[in-house]
Structure 1
Amino acid sequence: MKKNWMALLMGIVMATLLLSACSNEGSSNEADADGGSGEAATEQVLKIGNDQEPAGLDPHKVPAHSSIRIYEKIYDSLLTFDEDMKVQPELAEKWEQPDETTYVFTLREGVKFHNGREMTAEDVKYSFERIMDEETASIAKSYFDKVESIEVVSPTEIKFTLSEPYAPFLSYVASTNAAIVAKEVVEENGDLNQAAVGTGPFKLDEWLPDNHVKLSKNEDYYKDGQPKLDGITYLTMKDESARLAAIRTGEVHVTTLSSQSIPLAEKSDGVEIKSYQSTEYSYVGFNVNKEPFNDVKVRQAISLAVDRKEVADVVWKGDAVLSGPIPESMGQWAIDVSQEELYQQNIEKAKELLAEAGYEDGFETVISTASTYTDMVDTAQLLQQQLEAIGIKAEIKQLEWGQYIDTWTNGDHDMLVGRNSSGSDPDRSIGFFFSTDGSANVWGFSDEKIDQLAEEGRTTIDPEKRVEIYNEAQKRVIEQTPNLFLVSPEKFFIVRDSVDNYSPTANEPENFNDVVIME
């Protein structure tokens, strides 16, 4: 009996070991299929050290990057872009263009909002009409000024009719700011700044101001196998040293750091630096409704007084290139600004222009900036020093993020240091920011030539002719200097080694749909 009992016990042990081995092999293979080299961690919640609190989650109204990086996970648009910046289907599975002013989109069937309701063409119509409604004050309104009518053909088909040919139309339909939203959620809450219900890969679970934003996996997402994560938690860490410490200890999986902190991060074990040339540029915006910035000679004098190479070297540690209104990363659309006269530092010429404008002895002004972005503060401080050479005494006003957004929106500033993104079409860089009716023209700037070129660029279909138009438009914007364009920075993500399948690109720097957290 004893021998039989021992034999039975050994059999159970061997069977258990064999079962365990098979189970482990299966886990390893599954992880390898996801691109990993080991086992997936039990908790698939990606923790991100966020440098800024979101300013609201309404995709039609809020332009702040701190908001976009979150609500772009919650909402989808009809179209999207691939890595080569080519328009691809998203909520629309296909589209047709019967003529130059008509676009017909066929929607995917069975796509659900996070509240469980199926999305239809009525939701698409409502979303675009909300964007186009002046009372919404949508950041994307000017994107769709050429839309004459929107017709629901069927629950899965919708037709847009434009007033004339409009080259950027599909690019703007693919914008995050053209997200499809649910009417009942807007009506229930007034807007979507605090309540977010979309069709995207992640759902809003909780937003605790100045602490964290929690997203969870959309189990009904229409893309099979995505997202692989169970959730994403954005931990608000405005202090850069706190983010550096958190990524070193593994408190967070991903964060961003300025160029100054990259050497420190590189010395840390278990982390990897992932970089890409951004479509952003740093700028100084002038309130052209205020003296002395209503005089183009004053704005040009400031441009001549600024040493942009020093901005690149000091603020970005050399990890930046000169930029105009369309940054270098936009390829064929960008001009070589290094040869532009207003990009050559010339103190004497700057003083002459100030004297011609009636400011021979200079003047006093205020440079406003966001206190929580190191690069913006450093840029303001460097400009303060450089402008002293032509007699301009600038006080720096550091604003909390909410104040900064309000200041940008209301035009309540003299000079404002910031960063903009060029988007996917050159019309954004010219018409959106600098045409008289541009949704993001917060500078009070108006120029007939810019308006004319912006209109030609929008309505010209031939790509080569569009390049010529936008080349001329960039030179005109630089000459008029409603903004002082500085540099386009390289951007950095600091990532723990446990994060698999993540490669930031200029188009999709924070696409985590295929990410897996490994042990």
Structure 2
Amino acid sequence: MFKKQFLFLLFIALAFVIAACSNDSNDSGETSDAEAESGSEEETQAEQVLKIANDQEPAGLDPHKTPAASSVRVYSKVYEGLVTFDENMELEGQLAESWDQPDDSTYIFNLVEGAQFHNGREMTAEDVKYSFERILNEETASHIASYFADIETIEVLGDYQIQFKLANPNATFLTNLTNSSAAIVAQEVVEENGDLQQVAIGTGPFVFEEWVPDNSVTLLKNEDYYVDGIPKLDKVEYYTMLEEASRLSAIRTGEIDMTTVNAQSAELLDGADGLSVMDYQSLEYSYVGFNVDVEPLTDEKVRQALSLATNRQEIVDIAWNGQGVITGPIAPAMGDWSLDVEAHELYQNDLDQAKDLLADAGYPDGFEITITTASTYPDMVDTAQLLQQQWKEIGVNAEIRQVEWGEYIDIWSNKSADILIGRNGSGSDPDRAMNYFFHTDGSANVWNFSNAEYDELVLKGKGTVDVEERKEVYNQSQELLLELSPNLFMVSPMNYVAVRDGVVDYQPYAHSSEDIEEVSKK
């Protein structure tokens, strides 16, 4: 009996000791290995990181100097402009919370108070004035200078109010302000670095953290962003993956969360587990650009002959896998602004007429020419190869030169190609498609193209406020541009974005395919 009582008391004592040791451990803040692992997993899951694969390396980060899409997709998250578009392409304020228009040529913007640059300094009207003066300064060589050439004066009315007076009424002014390159920048950052190609300090929802060349760009959440609850992501990581096969593999395995893909890849991904493919009709178009200062491209009959020798439907079917529409200079996604070009005489693939035009121009036996294209875009390479075959039927022997993206951008800006295969965006107003690219003084007129009648038309369109009158002016200017053929306009493609199922609230639009402010991960 005594022995049993002793053992029972000993068991109770041991239980108290174990309990006390356990309590001591918990009081000291220590956790078990299992608890630590569980906590680590929860912390990792809580971090919102979006990984995006890009098809090209950024060509620089200066919004006032670099129009490349590979750059815009990055700096558009870091910088902001005065106004932007909502999902319905309606104007709404960004750094300007409101604006007034006292007359047809005057705009007064009331700025957001408390918006800070990522260096901690508040953005004011002086920064807006400096930014637009920088864009208009010839030394900047900004690709959007022609957008704002009508600005006559910029006057700071107060810390948060600024006035623009234009030389003439301009129906495109507010729309042009939505361009990602019309960004508000900090003067001290420009002066410290010379330009903004390697740095990015804006007021936007994401902060530029790091750019590892030929590898990745990292953006972090702006913890001091002036809009509550935005952004939802903690980090965005862009990975440069030039090869489509690499991006396909990465999106399938979950190594990345999003990437653009071509039509063929979109078909391959159809029904794949854990992801979906979103599509939309783009505002982009592919083109064949002629340097009209290079013989024999100086003669519009030669350019017209090349248009007639081009089978655009074959390019749609092969280069774009049938997922696109034949286009003029204004993409069909812009609706009534776009001209129906398929019935146009120069779109008819008439080889006999093409040969007659070449003979009239003094080239009855054809000629030799070089086509330059970016090696990293399969659709551009395919288009070049198809044109090489098609044009050979009228005696034109084209050599294809494939170059890397950085060299391609230099060739484009230096106007050093005979013929260049590329892509453009029609923008959100017909003025971009018609004036920016083809007016004699257009900032992106890299073709040495100049025609007084055409210039007069597009300037009239820019200053015409009545919508129906504007449409008629742009119809006339499109007809004239097709006749003069400084570019051959080819295909406006469907665009495709592959997205993992864990990405929430992402929706691509033709005018804004990479808006991720509201995106989160689950």
TM-score normalised over the length of structure 1: 0.92
Shift of residue 351 of structure 1? 0.6
Q: Is the 8 A contact 1:77 1:174 kept in 2?
A: yes
2:65, 2:518 → 1: CA distance? 29
Aligned twin of 1:314: 318
2:80 is equivalent to residue 49 of structure 1? no
Residue 213 of structure 1 contacts residue 233 of structure 1 at CA under 8 Å; is this kept in 2?
yes
User: Are the equivalent residues in 2 in contact too, given 1:41–1:517 (CA < 8 A)?
Assistant: no
CA distance in 2, matches of 1:84, 1:471: 25
Q: Which amino acid aligns with 1:448?
A: A
- Shift of residue 267, structure 1, vs aligned partner: 4.8
The one of 92, 105, 122 equivalent to 1:118 is 122
TM-score, normalization: structure 2?
0.92
Following the alignment from structure 1 to structure 2, what is the Cα–Cα distance between the partners of residues 478 and 358?
22
Name the count of aligned residue pairs.
492
Letter in 1 for 2:502: S
The AA in structure 2 aligned to 1:379 is T
- Matched AA of 1:253: D
Q: How does 1:216-365 map to 2 (within 5 A)?
A: 216-365=220-369
| Divergent runs of 4+, >2 A | 1-6, 39-43
Alignment of 1:136-175 (within 5 A): 136-175=140-179
Counterpart residue number, 1:515: 519
- How do 1:181-200 residues align onto structure 2 when only pairs under 5 Å count? 181-200=185-204
SS at match of 1:312: helix
CA distance in 2, matches of 1:517, 1:94: 32
User: Structure 1 CA distance, aligned partners of 2:348 and 2:288?
Assistant: 17
Which amino acid in 1 is paired with 2:488? Answer: L
Give the structure 2 partner of residue 492 of structure 1: 496
**Counterpart-to-counterpart distance in 2, 1:498 and 1:386:** 45
CA distance in 2, matches of 1:318, 1:225: 42
Alpha-carbon contact 1:95-1:106 (below 8 Å) kept: yes
Number of the residue aligned with 2:112 = 108
Secondary structure of the corresponding residue to residue 273 of structure 1: strand
The amino acid of 1:61's aligned partner reads K
- After superposition, the Cα gap between the structure-2 partners of 1:421 and 1:40, relative to the gap in structure 1 and judged at 3 Å, is farther
Give the counterpart letter for 2:108 in structure 1.
Answer: V
Pairwise CA distance, 1:436: 0.3
Alignment partner, residue 100 of structure 2: 96
The whole-number CA distance in structure 2 between the counterparts of 1:95 and 1:515 is 29
Paired position in structure 2 for 1:135: 139
Equivalent in the alignment of 1:206: 210
Q: What is the alpha-carbon distance in structure 1 between the residues aligned to residue 44 and residue 367 of structure 2?
A: 61
Distance in 1, Cα, partners of 2:356 & 2:112: 62
Q: List aligned pairs for 1:417-436, cutoff 5 A.
A: 417-436=421-440
1:398-449 Cα shifts (integer Å, max 9, x gaps)? 1111100010001101110000001111111111100100000000000111
Contact 1:40/1:517 (CA < 8 Å) preserved in 2?
no
**Structure 1: which 5+ runs fail to align?**
13-38
Which of 481, 498, 504 in structure 1 is aligned with 2:508? 504
RMSD: 1.9
Q: Which secondary structure state, in structure 2, belongs to the residue aligned with residue 469 of structure 1?
A: helix
Q: Deviation per CA, 1:262-303, whole angstroms, max 9, x where unpaired?
A: 222225321100111100000000000000100000000010
Change (3 A) 1:422 1:477: same
* Unpaired stretches in structure 2, ≥5 consecutive residues: 1-8, 23-42
The CA distance in 1 between the partners of 2:236 and 2:394, in whole Å, is: 49
How many angstroms apart in 2 are the aligned matches of 1:516 and 1:103?
A: 36
Q: Quick one: distance in 1 between partners of 2:192 and 2:363? A: 54
Q: Distance in 2 between matches of 1:243 and 1:489?
A: 20
Q: Are 1:295 and 1:357, in contact at CA under 8 Å, matched by a contact in 2?
A: yes
SS across alignment from 1:215: strand
Alignment partner of 1:451 is 2:455: yes
> How far 1:41 moved relative to its partner?
3.4
Distance in 2 (CA, whole Å) between partners of 1:462 and 1:515 is: 38
What is the identity, as a one-letter code, of the residue corresponding to 1:277? Q
Match of 1:83 in 2: 87
Report deviation, 1:258: 1.4
**For the Cα contact (< 8 Å) 1:281–1:327, is it kept in 2?**
yes
Report Cα offsets for 1:86-109 as digits up to 9, x if no partner. 211110000000001100000000
Q: In 1, distance between residues paired with 2:90 and 2:44?
A: 33
Q: Determine the structure 2 residue equivalent to 1:399.
A: 403
Cα distance in 2, alignment partners of residues 350 and 504 from structure 1: 41
Q: Is the 8 A contact 1:40 1:516 kept in 2?
A: no
In the TM superposition, what is the alpha-carbon distance from 1:83 to its structure 2 partner?
Answer: 2.0
Please, which of 465, 472, 481 is the counterpart of residue 468 of structure 1? 472
Deviation string, structure 1 residues 226-278 (Cα, Å, up to 9, x no partner) = 11000111111001111111111111000111112222222532110011110
Shift, 1:332, TM fit: 1.6
Cα distance in 2 for partners of 1:457, 1:263 equals: 41
| Counterpart AA for 1:109 | E
Whether the 8 Å contact between 1:368 and 1:413 is mirrored in structure 2 is yes
Q: Identity rate of aligned residues, in percent?
A: 57
Q: Which has the larger radius of gyration?
A: 2
User: 1:174 & 1:501 partners in 2: Cα distance?
Assistant: 22
The one-letter amino acid paired with 1:389 is: E
